[in-house]
Amino acid sequence: MAQDPPSQDLMHYEALAQDALRGVVKAALKRAAAPEGLPGAHHFYITFKTDAAGVSGPADLLGKYPDEMTIVLQHQYWDLAPGETFFSVTLQFGGQPKRLSIPYAAVTRFYDPSVQFLLQFEPPAAAATDAKVAPLPAPAEAAAPAPAAEGDGEAKIVSLDQFRKK
């Protein structure tokens, strides 16, 4: 019996899964914003596309890095405000506090090195504006190998076992 070719994914399951996993980022930021702050040794490296729609920051930070920025939420962050579609946080840049607003859709990587937990997301489409936010250099500890990209258009299954604490 001949097998019918797979039908087109009109449900857009990959996009639904990406949105659901961004919900994990939102929930983690909500816990970090609680009065108790980050529990234990948890801390976050959050990488986002600076040219994504809705990313904003001070004018003196704009344009320094045209593509991505990694911020660290560990000891010195203030006024963390996770909303429904974006989060805002104040961080130190050159010894000066600066406020950033980042849509969850702009996040491309969320990493908690204390438990080796990593989420990677498809980058969003670039914004139509030229406004950009400058990145902080990511510490070497934050570097995690990116999965190899496959260009054959096949569906990919990613095992989360490598990110679980053993």
Instruction: Write out the residue range of the structural domain in which residue 78 sits.
Output: 14-34+41-136
In a domain, residue 150? The reply is no
Q: Is the pLDDT of residue 67 over 70?
A: yes
Q: Which residue has the higher pLDDT, 143 or 57?
A: 57
Q: Which residues pair with 92 in a beta bridge?
A: 97
In a domain, residue 145? The reply is no
In a domain, residue 158? The reply is no
CATH code where residue 83 lies: 2.30.30.220
In this prediction, residues 66-93 reach a mean pLDDT of 92
Q: Is the pLDDT of residue 86 over 80?
A: yes
Residue type (1 letter), 63: G
In a domain, residue 109? The reply is yes
In a domain, residue 108? The reply is yes
Residue 36 CA to residue 72 CA, distance in Å, equals 18
In this prediction, residues 139-143 reach a mean pLDDT of 37
In a domain, residue 164? The reply is no
C-alpha distance from residue 113 to each of 13, 31, 72, 124 (Å) = 28, 17, 11, 24
Among 67, 65, 63, which Cα is nearest to 49's?
67
In a domain, residue 103? The reply is yes
In a domain, residue 144? The reply is no
Count of residues in the chain: 166
What are 91-128's pLDDT values in tens digits?
A: 998 888 999 999 999 999 999 999 999 999 988 765 44
Q: Which residue has the higher pLDDT, 63 or 74?
A: 74
Query: What is the number of structural domains in the chain?
Result: 1
What are 4-62's pLDDT values in tens digits?
A: 777 898 999 998 999 999 999 999 999 999 999 999 999 999 999 988 899 998 766 75
Among 33, 45, 49, 32, which Cα is nearest to 110's?
45
